[in-house]
Amino acid sequence: MDLQPLLLQCRPGFEGDCAAEITELAAAHGVGGYCRTQPQQGYVLFQPQQADAAALLRELPFAQLVFARQWCQVLAELTDLPETNRAEPIAAAVRALLPRFDALWLEYPDTNEGKTLSTFCRKFEPALLRALDAAGARRAEGAPRLHLFLLSSRHVFVAVSPPDNSAPWPMGIPRLKMPSQAPSRSTLKLDEALQVFVPRAEQPKRLAPGMRAVDLGACPGGWTWQLARRGLTVIAVDNGPMAESVMATGLVEHLRADGFVYRPPRPVDWMVCDMVENPMRVAALVGDWLAAGLCREAVFNLKLPMKKRHQAVKDCLDSIRRRVDQAGLRYSLQCKQLYHDREEVTGHARRL
């Protein structure tokens, strides 16, 4: 039996890290395989050898993947689609492979070449939906999600993912707007992190007005602004200046101090950290805060080296785990390379 591959979307340039990660995690779940990818193409195909990719979608939590923005099981690869009628052959393939689907997402690699397909996808989607309806493929709540991953207007992967074990946005990218009052674009990193790591239904309780937070390395205040706009009071720790728009919220106290030295006089609800420092040093700082009970939750960025980035992330997370495990605490720990990250990843830790 031919085993269909798993398609993982990632940031261009991180294909090797994504491939190393899925190969390692799949092996830990008893699924051997190999990856097909090329530099800067923005996706990886993992070819399983012992079990279908559907088994990984069921058994491997998507949240464990750091470098994959989105994943799905390939059902078919359609090439040389006719220029004048692409919709009908795609609809016929979908009807044969997935007669019921929860939602339809048209996706493409997040590369300069891939982005040229965005206009085509927007115009093509209505015709495709009509063709799917005519072919008898129907939307059904609770069914798998249907992905059409386009490499060109004539080359498409038909794929599927479980809505409860994949990214909740097409291409794994939340569409965020830069707030005019925020002092830097780094504000979008924390906004995305809070959406990724804190379920929407839990945000009113876990990010409630009046909660207290500390922002280490806060200048000029992009992350502090995100917390303040949610009503949290923030101690912004940085020797540099804070933007006037941040201080004008009335919810921020600016302390000129070293973020690696500062400790709050009493525990806070959140600690966030986006310092440009050695990632192992940041990981040690996060682990110490959690182990000492100084915060309930933390969001932090790890600036990655040029090489062995997958291993660097593992080493950093292991450093945090050792410190918190020694304290005998229950906790959760996640890490993702977010859309608004560049040569970095964003982690989240929470005491349970």
CA angle 90, 2, 37 (to 5 degrees): 75
Residue in 18, 19, 13, 5 with CA at minimum distance from that of residue 112? 13
Specify the amino acid at residue 137: A
What secondary structure letter does DSSP report for 144?
Answer: P
Give the strand order in the sheet containing 6-9. 33-36, 43-48, 6-9, 70-78, 155-161, 145-152, 104-107
Q: How, if at all, do strands 295-303 and 252-255 pair?
A: unpaired
DSSP string, 265-313: SS-EEEEEE---S-HHHHHHHHHHHHHTT-EEEEEEEEEPPSS-HHHHH
Given the residues 303, 307, 308, 314, the one annotated as active site: 303
Give the largest Cα separation in the chain, rounded. 69
Active site includes 205?
A: no
CA-CA distance, 69 to 114, in Å (whole number)? 15
Q: Is residue 164 within 8 Å of residue 102, measured between CB atoms?
A: no
- Residues with catalytic function: 303
